[in-house]
Amino acid sequence: MFGKVKNIFPRGLYGRAASILIVPIVTIQLVVSVAFIQRHFEGVTRQMTMGVATELAYLLAQWEGADASAAQGRLREIASGLGMAVTVPAPVTDGADLRELLDLSGAEVIANLRAAVPGIAHVALLSSPQRVEMTIDTARGPILVVVNRSRVSASNPHQLLVLMILTSIFMTLIAYGFLRNQLRPITLLSDAATAFGKGQHVAYRPRGALEVRAAGKAFLDMRARIERQIEQRTMMLSGISHDLRTPLTRLRLGLSLLPEDEETAALLGDVGDMQRLIDEFLSFARGDAMEEAEVVNPRELVGRIVDNAARAGSPVTLGRIAVAAEVMMRPAAVTRALENLIGNAARFGTCVRVSALQTGRNLRVMVEDDGPGIAPDQREEAMMPFARLDAARDPNKGGGVGLGLAIAQDVARSHGGRLILSRSEDLGGLKAEFMIAC
Instruction: Identify the CA nearest to 284 among candidates 342, 246, 337, 331.
Output: 337
Average pLDDT of the residues in 374-398: 67
Cross-strand pairs, 418: 435
Evaluate if residue 397 carries a pLDDT over 60: no
Kindly report, as residue ranges, where domains of CATH 3.30.450.300 are found in the chain: 10-159
Q: Percent of the chain having pLDDT more than 70?
A: 86
Average pLDDT of the residues in 219-237: 80
Angle between helices 42-65 and 106-116 (to 10 degrees): 40
User: Of 191 and 387, which is predicted with more confidence?
Assistant: 191
* Residue pLDDT, tens place only, 43-100: 788 888 899 999 998 988 888 888 877 888 888 888 888 999 998 888 887 778 888 8
Note the helical H segments in 141-209.
158-197
Binned at pLDDT 50, 70 and 90, residue 170 comes out as confident
Q: Residue 413: what pLDDT?
A: 85
* Residue pLDDT, tens place only, 8-23: 666 777 777 777 777 7
Binned at pLDDT 50, 70 and 90, residue 37 comes out as low
Evaluate if residue 156 carries a pLDDT over 60: no
Binned at pLDDT 50, 70 and 90, residue 243 comes out as confident
Q: Residue 72: what pLDDT?
A: 84
pLDDT averaged over the chain? 81
* Residue pLDDT, tens place only, 197-211: 766 778 888 888 888
b/e map 277-300, b = 16+ CB within 10 Å: ebebbbbbbbbbbebebeebebbe
Average pLDDT of the residues in 147-164: 74
362-369 and 352-358 beta bridge pairing: antiparallel
Q: Residue 396: what pLDDT?
A: 41
Q: Residue 286: what pLDDT?
A: 59
| CA–CA–CA angle 6, 8, 12 (5° rounding) | 85
Evaluate if residue 425 carries a pLDDT over 60: yes
Q: What is the pTM of this model?
A: 0.51
Binned at pLDDT 50, 70 and 90, residue 402 comes out as low
- Tell me which of 3.40.50.720, 3.30.450.300, 3.90.1150.10, 2.30.30.90 is the CATH number of domain 10-159: 3.30.450.300
DSSP string for 214-225: HHHHHHHHHHHH
Kindly report, as residue ranges, where domains of CATH 1.10.287.130 are found in the chain: 223-286
Evaluate if residue 433 carries a pLDDT over 90: yes
Lowest mean pLDDT among 120-134, 254-268, 273-287, 361-375: 273-287
223-286 sits in which CATH class? mainly alpha
The CATH number of the domain covering residues in 294-437? 3.30.565.10
3-state secondary structure of 202: coil
Q: Residue 393: what pLDDT?
A: 45
For the four alpha carbons of 42, 46, 48 and 52, in that order, the dihedral sign comes to positive
Q: Residue 8: what pLDDT?
A: 67
Binned at pLDDT 50, 70 and 90, residue 7 comes out as low
Q: Residue 399: what pLDDT?
A: 45
Kindly report, as residue ranges, where domains of CATH 3.30.565.10 are found in the chain: 294-437
Angle between helices 13-36 and 158-197 (to 10 degrees): 170
User: Of 158 and 393, which is predicted with more confidence?
Assistant: 158
* Residue pLDDT, tens place only, 315-367: 999 989 988 888 888 888 899 889 989 988 998 889 999 999 998 788 999 99
Q: Residue 233: what pLDDT?
A: 72
